[in-house]
Amino acid sequence: MIRFVLADLRLHALGAVVIVLLIASATALGMAVRIEERALRLGSARAADRFDLVVGAAGSETQLVLSSVFLQPAPLTLLNGDVLRRLSEDPRVEFAAPVGFGDSFLGYPIVGTTAEFVESLGLAEGAPERPLASMGEAIVGAGVRLDAGYEIRPMHGLPGQEAEEHDEIVYRVTGRLAPTSTPWDRAILVPIEGVWKAHEHGDEADDEAGHDDDHEDHGAEAAAARLGPPWPDDLPGVPAIIVKPRTIANAYQLRGEYRTETTLAVFPGEVLTRLYSTLGDARQILTAIAIGTQALAAAAVLLVAMAHLAQRRRQIGALRAFGAPRVAVFGVVWAELLLVVGLGVACGVLLGYAGAKILAIGLSRQSGIHLPVTLEASDLGFAAVLLAVAAAIAALPAIYAYRQSPAAALRS
């Protein structure tokens, strides 16, 4: 029987290949949507894992998370420097690290922060024991292609924007972070004092935090002499502060305390969850499109199967005339369709996985977020459901063949 099926498929090899490709692409689309969405969710959640609490100026929570955790270029309102000082002196806080953006080099964002935070991200081998010990030092992310000793002249402006070179400061790469699979792999970390210094004149007009100019100058100079906390009284503003609370209870207390009229405190994980529920709608649309495509493919296959069956009507009638049982006729038609559909779904799973992988590699290169593309049992379950639906649909032509009178078929 299987020989008979294979012989017929060989005779119609070209058509069968087209059908397999059709089913494979429809399956791959659904598969890729599932896999990619999960990878995006997992990848961004993992990237946010290291950031317990982020404090910024009042504004959009999503923007704060995107800018601080995912290093998405966007100008943030500055937070008063006192907040940083208060936080780093708070006994409930293990460390509070400022993050200052605004400059870039060769497309890599330059992020001003403290040695403490760099250490918490984890240094790769060969990095200095005390990172960012002096003003001209830079530690680069694992994905930054600059070697130790390289001289960095920051360009003012975020990556991708028109830039002008800062003359004041030159950084020298002294070490590298261990890979974090987060956008921070693409960052160049420098002392926050450097960022303050570079911007103390140029940004005065934009700075609406209401600082007294003399004070700010004075603060920056004082900070330049000695890096990191404890901070002097009058600090310049920072766009965001990453806070590591000592306990979970502390984290909730701090979040509550720093949700004020001028400040905003968020758990990145929580903001992401909210973001996903919005993205969930997009996923539903994509899923609906994928299901629509699958339905179209199923309709096309059914049409082709019925046309093929009409062509084989006499052949099937003859099979019955030679004594083939009706179940065998059903089996032949069904098995042939299942073989084609099964092959299509199997190819589609591989194709979808490969497509998701390629897409994820592209996205990772752009954003630095590692997207864990995996094939899970639920994906195979999804493929199995597709196959089961296909098997049910394939039974229609098979039933048609089963019910056909051989005498009538032979007369036609």
Residue length of the chain? 412
- What is the smallest separation between the CB atom of 25 and another protein, expressed in angstroms? 28
Q: Which stretch binds another protein (CB under 8 A): 8-16, 228-236, 242-250, 273-281?
A: 8-16
- List all residues 6 or more positions away from 252 whose beta carbon is below 8 Å from its beta carbon: none
Position among 164, 277, 411, 412 found at the interface with another protein (CB under 8 A): 411
Sole residue written with tokens 């004594």: 323
Position among 323, 377, 392, 412 found at the interface with another protein (CB under 8 A): 323
Residue nearer to another protein on the CB measure, 10 or 145: 10
| Whole-number Å distance between alpha carbons of 289 and 325 | 42
**Cα–Cα distances in Å, from 329 out to 19, 129, 142, 180, 404?**
22, 77, 62, 59, 10
Report 11-30 residues binding another protein (CB under 8 A): 11
* Three-state SS sequence of 95-115: EEEEEEEEEEECCEEEEEECH
Interface pattern 388-407 for another protein (x via CB under 8 A) = -----------------xxx
- What is the smallest separation between the CB atom of 412 and another protein, expressed in angstroms? 12
How far the first Cα of the chain sits from its last, in Å, is: 24
CA dihedral (122, 128, 132, 138) positive or negative: negative
**Residue 412 near another protein by CB under 8 A:** no
- What is the smallest separation between the CB atom of 351 and another protein, expressed in angstroms? 29
| Whole-number Å distance between alpha carbons of 364 and 345 | 28
Q: Which stretch binds another protein (CB under 8 A): 134-142, 185-193, 210-218, 325-333?
A: 325-333
Rg from Cα positions in the chain: 31
Q: Which stretch binds another protein (CB under 8 A): 238-246, 292-300, 318-326, 376-384?
A: 318-326
Residue nearer to another protein on the CB measure, 285 or 327: 327
**Residue 318 near another protein by CB under 8 A:** yes
**Residue 257 near another protein by CB under 8 A:** no
Residue nearer to another protein on the CB measure, 38 or 320: 320
Q: Which stretch binds another protein (CB under 8 A): 7-15, 256-264, 269-277, 365-373?
A: 7-15
Specify which residues 137 forms β-bridges with: 172
311 C-beta neighbours (distance < 10 Å), count: 10
**Cα–Cα distances in Å, from 408 out to 285, 327, 405?**
48, 18, 5
Interface pattern 277-316 for another protein (x via CB under 8 A) = -------------------------------------xx-
Burial annotation 175-210 (CB, 10 A radius, 16+ → b, else e): bbbeebbbbbbbbbbbbbbbbbbbbbeebeeebeee
Report 326-365 residues binding another protein (CB under 8 A): 326, 328
Position among 321, 361, 380, 384 found at the interface with another protein (CB under 8 A): 321
Residue nearer to another protein on the CB measure, 328 or 375: 328
**Residue 1 near another protein by CB under 8 A:** yes
- What is the smallest separation between the CB atom of 339 and another protein, expressed in angstroms? 15
Helices (H) and strands (E) in the chain, counts: 13, 11
Query: CA triplet 121, 123, 127: central angle to 5 degrees?
Result: 150
Position among 4, 150, 276, 400 found at the interface with another protein (CB under 8 A): 4
**Residue 319 near another protein by CB under 8 A:** yes
Residue nearer to another protein on the CB measure, 311 or 366: 311
Q: Which stretch binds another protein (CB under 8 A): 31-39, 234-242, 250-258, 320-328?
A: 320-328
| Whole-number Å distance between alpha carbons of 40 and 46 | 10
20: its two tokens: 């397999």
* Chain residues in the site for another protein (CB under 8 A): 1, 3-4, 7-8, 10-11, 314-315, 318-326, 328, 405-407, 410-411
